[in-house]
Amino acid sequence: MLILHFIGLTMGLGTSFAHAFLSIATSKMQEDEARRFQLHSLVLSRMGYIGIGLLIVSGLYLITPYWQTITSLPLLIVKLILVLVLLVLLILIGIRSKKAQEGDVSAQLKKIEPLGKMTMLIGIIIVILAVSVFH
């Protein structure tokens, strides 16, 4: 299960890094070309969704021994709360992505960008907390 958890982590956090680097590439493109490229690169989000799914399923299994002592592990509680925040942000990104594909591309992509940055930051914080808790 730990292997599945790390594969999910790689896929989920890797998606955030990929989008960050792709946004650097699109900043050097013409506006229309950048918009089309960003719209097509949203397909990477599917990899992130699969990754977060693997993380949640394997994480629920891996955390089972800690449920009885969770109140004595405040960093674990913070980590779990951040995972919930991450899920909400990913749902919002998914909604914005659908709206972008339906036609309101520029406005939706502008709303997705800060959400993507937040998911990347939260993902990094979650990893730091996990290492701190389970070290």
Mean pLDDT of 109-122: 88
Question: Helix 31-41 vs helix 2-26: angle between axes, to the nearest 10 degrees?
Answer: 170
Per-residue model confidence as pLDDT tens digits over 4-25: 999 999 998 988 888 888 888 8
Show me where the domains of the chain are located.
2-134
Residues 113, 27 contacting (CB under 8 angstroms): no
Q: Residue 83's pLDDT is what? A: 93
Give the tens place of pLDDT for each residue, 58-113: 999 999 999 999 999 999 999 999 999 999 998 898 898 888 888 878 888 888 88
- Scored b (16 or more CB within 10 A) or e, 1-10 reads eeeebeebbe
* Six token digits for residue 78: 């913070």
35-52 pLDDT, tens digit per residue, is 888 888 888 888 889 999
